[in-house]
């Protein structure tokens, strides 16, 4: 199973913001830290905002921060929210045209594997991923705006 770049970038944004919970991050600062496309990141941030993971503030001195504490952001939920689908093979989808579907056990096996995968993800939160944020801040060379300076 492979998660999309969209989900990967979603986690990068969440991790970046969790590393500095009392400050605002910007699309530019996150893009610079990870060396990823600012345009793609803007779409990811919009989706994270719409799904309730981040709050955004527009304008000069604006930015974003986590809407919820990292302990309340479940990794499995983020994956399910950000992935367009988790259909591993054609027979998982509504447009299945595979002729062997009635007798094939592959769907059952892959369904069990997907359930195990998501069950593991459901055991973790963003706080578990971030752990001690200090090393992450050093690695990312975080350039966040202090809300008091905005």
Q: What is the pLDDT, as a whole number, of residue 134? A: 87
Whether the CB-CB separation of 54 and 65 falls below 8 Å is answered with yes
| CATH code: domain of residue 50 | 1.10.10.10
- Global pTM reads 0.86
Domain count, the chain: 1
Domain that holds residue 16: 5-149
pLDDT at 29: 92
The first and second tokens of residue 30, run together, are 């996150």
- How high is the mean pLDDT in each 10-residue block of the chain (150 residues)? 92 96 90 93 97 92 93 98 84 83 86 93 98 88 52
Spatial neighbors of 94 by CB under 8 A, at least 6 apart, are none
């Amino acid at each position: 199973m492979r998660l999309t770049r969209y989900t990967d970038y979603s986690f990068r944004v969440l991790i970046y913001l969790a590393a500095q919970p009392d400050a605002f991050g910007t699309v530019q600062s996150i893009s610079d830290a990870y060396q990823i496309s600012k345009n793609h990141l803007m779409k990811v941030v919009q989706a994270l905002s719409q799904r309730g993971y981040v709050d955004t503030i527009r304008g000069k001195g604006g930015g974003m921060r986590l809407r919820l504490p990292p302990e309340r952001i479940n990794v499995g939920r983020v994956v399910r929210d950000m992935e367009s689908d988790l259909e591993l093979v054609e027979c998982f989808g509504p447009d299945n045209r595979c002729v062997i579907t009635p007798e094939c056990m592959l769907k059952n096996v892959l369904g069990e594997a997907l359930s195990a995968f998501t069950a593991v993800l459901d055991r973790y939160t963003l706080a578990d991923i971030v752990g001690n944020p200090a090393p992450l801040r050093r690695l990312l060379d975080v350039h966040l705006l202090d809300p008091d300076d905005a």
